[in-house]
Chains A and B, each alone.
Chain A
């Protein structure tokens, strides 16, 4: 039986020793997390300091912005974090949405600026697509039962309105194959598409009007539909669209006044004003975390007030490497003139190719594996093999995908070395397994009971997938795709392998042009020993790349959080 001395055992010395060991272990584990995070954070601070050179500013400049910007925003942020979490989320979203909008607007402005797509082409494409969609809808209304026929219409209508009969792309591909096997190219009469006919029109409205019609109205229309559904009032939706168009019509006055041009104003309103407006309306109506709306006001007010005061007192701002000139000019031998514009454009175009190539195939593969694939028998074995293979491909080094791109696209089918399209396809192959795996996870999260209900109604597999599974899985699929595309923007090794040039002076304006890309340019600068490059231009490039990635990942996380809350 226990002696009094023993009784102390569980509360006394040994207990203290083991508790000490436990605390030490917990602290060691916490330190491990800390080491990983803090070391990278310190490095990020270093590179940001190099890029922005905050110490080159007057101390007064720092003091002013510390008082007008840092203290109020930090104060509100801490208040939200400690006391009002929903407001914190509203603050995060209302600040983040315009930033994402700016990114979108800037991307589209660049696309229009380099004339990758002109406003007229955008307009023609929109009209042609609308006509095609109209044909499909009308056909569905008059012949609801003819499913196969509708599939035919779905394929044929866009061909006629958008691509022409036969499509130019098909002729070009055919001629490519013919020239490869040594036959003369074919050419002949073709029926031009509606899109091409619009492009032939001799007179065209001003660019900003075309952008209103072909960008603002579709975006505002989609948002207006959302508003109408949420408020259960069609008039509110129409009023929203009307207001949006009215705001964009200020373009000829407001654009030049702000120095962003009429088109810039239209794009800014469309992407930076409309989505936050819808979000704010929802917040106000739900009356949930309304205080969070103060955060962007504090932020913007702080910046403006700070700017005014700094000018008033004549404090010098920091002489950053990362400035407007850096973002808008091409690489130069003199560090002061070196810029990042062509790589930014190249990365945007790369992103378009990557998303366009990996998203449809990846989502299609995920749908097959989750919704269609048999689990048993010989074909079940094959599916299992495909799944294992996808898991393994996700871990294959990116440099190997670069080699695949080199061997396949450049050496086997003679695409131009270092072109945007080649880089995009190689990186697209790289993220394909990641897109598939994340889309599979999103599809798997849709409850089986919904599938059963639909099957029980006599829905076919495709109907179940399209009308029940996909609508619920789309946010998850989008999150995974954005994260994957974010990874694609930072990939460098595949671009080296497909021969992307170190520095490209001119921004590409077609997909077969030489590809400049942000990480590729950073790699090129890294081998330069000049301190102005190494601790200046290089750092500015790194910070630009990281900011773009941060915004993309932030968007993905925002979508994921909203989606998880709804489930």
Chain B
């Protein structure tokens, strides 16, 4: 594991690409710096989610090809890659949200705490109660802030002190101070960033083990984005976080481990974030990260 060179940059590569291919989409103009404090080695952590030879099809089209990876506990794992590479599909496989799409078919194995979630005896509803999810666009219900956070408690019939859980979840989501006086107001009056933090509070209120985030900051402005990023790092103390992102700097800043998917639903490299951004094994990953677009 190469995490000694903590502040090495990828500036050389990015310069070389900007001259060669100015049209490529994710052009990395500034250096990607890897957050030194948040970096751990994967070897130290237990594996929570593991996929073995996972294939996913939408009808006839194959969306994921033979994915093998292991997501470590209480860390932030990032999935990056170009649009349509299957990273969101993989995320949705973990809590079986893909079940809602009729034509989606999953082959291979995906385990959660050692149990294949695609076994016949696994109940997707119960699974989703252990694995929470936050979506790309903030999607609070048109109810009050309080009712939004308490929603999971009511659908899961959890026998808890609802007021206390709502307060605690909003505190964990760094939203409590902003909304504590307006819990009865509609959640739709909040700003986009506040709404997204509310959605995070809603997800953690039911105390899941894993939180899946599907590009949680892509619809937000830079300030709201940085708040969400800080929040994600804090959440990793308690929860296993899997995040899909378009933004490579974001992945570099907040994640411990990174999986790079490339076109065709292929997992090209999965390793420590430092390693991926500084010294990837695969030339295609290096090209993608530096903006050459593999």
Contacts and interface: CB of A to CB of B under 8 A. Distances in A.
A147 B132 CA distance: 22
A145 B156 CA distance: 8
Contacts of B132: 456-457
Contact of B154 (A376, A380, A467, A471): A467
B129 interface: yes
Contacts of A456: 95, 97, 128, 132-135, 203, 212
Interface in B85-140: 95, 97, 100, 102-103, 125-130, 132-135, 137, 139-140
Contacts of A468: 141
B202 A457 contact: yes
B59 to A, nearest CB: 8
A452 interface: yes
Kindly name the residue among B151, B155, B157, B203 whose own CB sees the greatest number of chain A CB atoms within 10 A: B155
Q: What secondary structure prevails in chain B residues at the interface with A? A: mixed
B102 A457 contact: no
B199 A453 contact: yes
Contacts of B159: 144-145
A460 interface: yes
B102 A455 contact: no
A463 B202 CA distance: 16
A374 interface: yes
Contacts of B139: 447, 449-450, 452-453
A375 interface: yes
B126 A457 contact: no
B277 to A, nearest CB: 30
Contact of A454 (B142, B155, B157): B155
Nearest to A150: B157
Contact of B128 (A229, A376, A458): A458
Nearest to A140: B157
Name the prevailing secondary structure of the A interface residues.
Answer: helix
A453 B141 contact: yes
Given A377-B102, A450-B141, A472-B142, A457 B152 contact: yes
B128 A449 contact: no
Interface string A363-393: 0000000000011110010000000000000
B102 A375 contact: yes
A232 B141 contact: no
A467 B142 contact: no
B206 interface: yes
B103 A376 contact: yes
B46 interface: no
Interface string A529-543: 000000000000000
B122 to A, nearest CB: 13
B199 A459 contact: no
Contacts of A145: 157, 159
Interface string B32-52: 000000000000000000000
A377, A456, A467, most chain B CB atoms within 10 A: A456
A376 B102 contact: yes
Contacts of B130: 458
Contact of A455 (B100, B141, B154, B202): B100
B151 A457 contact: yes
Interface-central residue, A229, A380, A468, by most chain B CB under 10 Å: A468
Q: A-B pairs with the 3 shortest C-beta distances?
A: A458-B129, A456-B133, A449-B139
7 contacts: A447-B139, A449-B135, A453-B133, A453-B135, A458-B156, A459-B151, A467-B151
Given A450-B139, A456-B97, 10 more contacts: A452-B97, A452-B100, A452-B133, A453-B141, A456-B133, A456-B203, A457-B128, A457-B132, A458-B125, A458-B152
Interface of A: 144-145, 147, 229, 232, 374-377, 380, 447, 449-450, 452-460, 463, 467-468, 471-472
